[in-house]
Structure 1
C-alpha cells in the first residue's frame, strides 16, 4: 500500500510540474493520506495531471467538517475543489450542533467520482448463509444477532438499519470507531454481521473467513459475481458510500464545466475503471446538474432517518 501511495504522489507531482504555468487545481480530501478514499483520489488526480496541473491536500478532522469549511470559504475561482461524501454533504448536519457551512448552499456540484455499495458481511460460522436465512434467524431470535458498524452516524450503519426496519427484524448494534475494528471483531466472533463496503473485508472474503450476505446495489459487484443484491433477495434496498467533487458556491460555470469534462474523460476509460475496481471502488461520473439532484435526494433520504435515531450531537 505504501509503495502505491508513493507512486501516486510522485505521479501527481510530476504531472503538475510538467503542465507549465497553468493554475494548479487543489483537490481537498477530508481524510488522512493513505486511506482508501485518499488512494482513489490520488489515482484519479495522477491521471488528471496528464492534462492539467493538480495537487491533493489532506485536511482530516471533525468528520470532514474542517476540510468542507475550508473549501466553502475558499475563493470560487474553479481551482479549489472538495471531495464531498455522505457525511460532509448530508449526515453531519444532524450529527453536529454548530456546522460551520451549509452543505446544500455553500458548494457548487462538479461531478460524481465514485461510489461503493454497502454490503452486509457475516462470520463464516454464522448460523445463516443468506439474507433470507439471516432474517428468519433474527425473527426467531430477536436481538441475538450482534451487528457491527464503523459508527452510529455512518452510512454503513444507517443502511443496514433501514433494511432491518423494512424486513421487520432487530439486531443488537455494536458501533466501532472504524471499519477495521469491526472487521476484526467479526473475524474473532465478537459480532455476527457487519455493515461495510468491499475494500476492507475483501481479502477475508476471498480467503473464506467472511461471507457476504448481500450487496445494496442495483447490480452485482464485479468482484463478487456470485453474491446477490438485496433486490434479488427480495428487499428493496440500495445504499452507497459516495464520493463527489464540489467547488465553492459562486464558482463560474465555465470553470465547473472545464473540470467536469476533464474528470469524466478519466472516469470512463477502461484502464482506469479496472484499477479503481481492483481497490473496491466503482467509478461514476456525470453532469454537475445530475450531481446536484443526487446530493439533494440523498440528503432528503438519510437526514430524517438520522434525526429519528436521536443521536448525541457533537460540537465543531
Structure 2
C-alpha cells in the first residue's frame, strides 16, 4: 500500500509537467537571436521559422537581443522559464569561445541550456588581395615564412570566431600572420579589397561575389570539406589536415526543459529543416542544413568548448 501511495504521489507531482508537455505549445514561442536584425542569424531564422510555426500551430516571434558578445541573449535565455516558450538561436562557436574569453559569465553554456538540435552551418573563407603573389594556402604559408611580419589578416574583431580561425591557422601552419581586428566583417572585407591588409577571414557568402569577379583571391574555405556554395575553392584542410572552423547554429532552451517538450521541438525542427524547399532556401542564403539529436548537440557543445579554450588562452585575449 505504501508503495502504491508513493507512486501516486510521484505521478501527482509530475502531472503538471506531463500535461504541459502534452498540450505544448498553446501560446506563442519566442526565439531569441543574439545579434542585430539583418545579419546572418536573422536571415537563417527567417528561413525556417515560418514553416516551424505552421507545423507547431503557434506563432514564433523573433526577438533580437544583441550585445556583450552574444552573452546578453544567452544569459536572458538561461534565466528564462524552462517551459519551451523561450528558445535561443545559438552560434555554438561564439558561446564556446566566450566560456574561456570572458573572465566571468552569469551562465554556463554546457550546464544552463537544454540542447534541442543543430540547425545549420556556414563556412568562412580565407581571401587575399590580388596584389599578394599567392594563389593557394600552401603559397600563403611559404610567403609568410619568407616575409616575416609583413602579412596581416583582418577579422570581425578580437575574440570572434573569425579572429580565432586565423589564430588556429597560425598554430597549425606555423605562420605568424598578424591580426588586424575590425568592428565587424564588412570593414575587414573593405580593407582587404582596398589592399590596406593582405588577407582576411570572412563569411563565404560575403566573399564569394568578389572572388568570382576577380577582386579577391579565394585561398580556402574553413569547413572540413569544400562548401556546396563554392565547390571550386579548396578547403584549407586539404593543406592543413583536420583544420575546421564553421559558424554552426543550434536551437537550445533553458536547462531543465521537460524532455517531452525537447523531443517534440527536435522532431518538428528536424522535419522542417529536412524539407527540400527549406533546404534550398537556406542554401541560397549561404547555409548548409545540419541536424542532430539533443544528446548529439550537447556533446558537440562540450567539444567546441574544449577545442577553443587552448586557442583563446594562447591568443592572450580576455574580456570583462
Asked if these proteins are the same fold (TM beyond 0.5), I'd say yes
Ranges in structure 1 where 5+ consecutive residues have no aligned partner:
1-20
1: distance between equivalents of 2:153 and 2:37?
29
Partner of 1:13: none
C-alpha displacement at 1:27, in angstroms? Answer: 0.7
Change over 3 Å in CA distance of 1:245–1:142 after alignment to 2: same
The answer for the alignment partner of 1:302 in structure 2 is 308
* Structure 2 residue runs without a partner (length 5+): 1-24
For 1:38-49, what aligned pairs fall within 5 Å after superposition?
Answer: 38-49=42-53
For residues 1-316 of structure 1, the aligned pairs below 5 Å read: 22-52=26-56, 53=58, 54-86=60-92, 88-314=94-320
CA contact (8 A) 1:94 1:313 kept: no
Within 2, Cα distance between the matches of 1:168 and 1:147? 15
**DSSP-derived class of the 1:33 partner:** coil
Is contact 1:72-1:101 (8 Å) kept?
A: yes
The alignment's C-alpha RMSD in Å is 1.5
Q: How many residues align?
A: 294
Q: Distance in 1 between matches of 2:208 and 2:232?
A: 14
Q: Aligned with 1:45: secondary structure?
A: helix
The runs of at least 4 aligned residues of structure 1 exceeding 6 Å deviation read none
Secondary structure of 1:51's partner?
helix
SS at the partner of 1:32? Answer: coil
TM-score by length of 2: 0.88
Q: What displacement does 1:69 show?
A: 0.9
Contact 2:152–2:177 at 8 Å: present in 1 too? yes
* CA–CA separation in structure 2 for the residues paired with 1:68 and 1:197: 23
Structure having the larger proportion of residues in helix: 2
Question: Deviation of residue 119 (structure 1)?
Answer: 2.0
Three-state SS of the structure 2 residue aligned to 1:116 is strand
CA contact (8 A) 1:131 1:233 kept: yes
Q: Deviations over 1:140-180 (max 9, x none)?
A: 11121111111121111112211222111111111111000
- Structure showing greater Rg: 2
- After superposition, the C-alpha distances for 1:258-287 in whole angstroms (9 at most, x for unaligned) are 111111111112221221121111111110
Deviates more, 1:175-184 or 1:95-104: 95-104
SS of 1:66's equivalent in the other structure is helix
Could you tell me how far apart the structure 2 residues matched to 1:132 and 1:250 are? 48
TM-score (norm 1): 0.89
Aligned-pair CA distance for 1:203: 2.3
Quick check: 282-291 or 78-87, which moved more?
Answer: 78-87
With over 3 angstroms needed to count, the CA separation of the structure-2 counterparts of 1:308 and 1:232, relative to structure 1, is closer
Query: CA–CA distance in 2 between the matches of 1:65 and 1:43?
Result: 24
In the TM superposition, residue 88 of structure 1 has moved relative to its aligned partner by 4.9
Asked whether the 8 Å contact 2:70–2:95 carries over to 1, the reply is no
